[in-house]
Structure 1
Amino acid sequence: MKAFVTVMPKAGVLDPQGKAIGHALTGLGFAGIGEVRAGKVIELELAETDPVKAKAAAEEMARKLLANTVIESFSVTVG
């Protein structure tokens, strides 16, 4: 079963990568760009077949390693 962990900077945390992307898009002529936030998606292939257990395992992995929960938030989807 696959689990997807999406990690994003928390609101209020500076995001220099997001700012750089926003400036680059504006420089390329894209109009109407508001705030840009950059994060990451981690795809995990899990042996677990129970979606509830797979999600719980991926959330534990995110809390312990994949996300810095002081400055980042995360969400997990399985499928």
Structure 2
Amino acid sequence: MKARVHIMLKDGVLDPQGEAVRRALGTLGFAGVDGVRQGKVIELDLTATDAAAAEEEVRRMCEALLANTVIEKYSVEII
């Protein structure tokens, strides 16, 4: 079983990397982009066989290590 974790900065938290990408896109002629938020995706290979238990374990991983919950939000997808 696999899990995919999407991590993004919370709304209201400045995203300097996203802003740099937005400016670069404008420089390259892509004028229709008003904003960019950059995040990360983490895929985990799990030995768990129960999807609900796996999701709970991955959420604990996020709270402990994978996401900085002060400034980041995350979602977990079991695939």
TM over 0.5: yes
Q: Give every structure 1 segment of 4 or more consecutive aligned residues whose post-TM-superposition deviation is greater than 6 Å.
A: none
Question: Percent sequence identity over matched residues?
Answer: 56
In 1, Cα distance between the equivalents of 2:36 and 2:23?
9
Once the two structures are TM-superposed, the CA of residue 31 in structure 1 deviates from its matched residue by 2.2
What TM-score do the two structures reach when normalised by structure 2? Answer: 0.96
CA distances 1:58-78 after superposition (whole Å, capped 9, x unpaired): 111001100000000000001
C-alpha distance in structure 2 between counterparts of 1:35 and 1:56, whole Å: 33
What aligned pairs does 1:13-32 form with structure 2 within 5 A after superposition? 13-32=13-32
Q: In structure 1, how many angstroms separate the alpha carbons of the residues matched to 2:20 and 2:8?
A: 16
Relative to the length of structure 1, the TM-score reads 0.96
User: When the two structures are aligned, how many residues end up with a matched partner?
Assistant: 79
Q: Which residue number corresponds to residue 52 of structure 2?
A: 52
The gaps in structure 1 that reach 5 residues or longer are none
CA offsets 1:27-53 (integer angstroms, 9 cap, x no match): 111121021000000000000011111
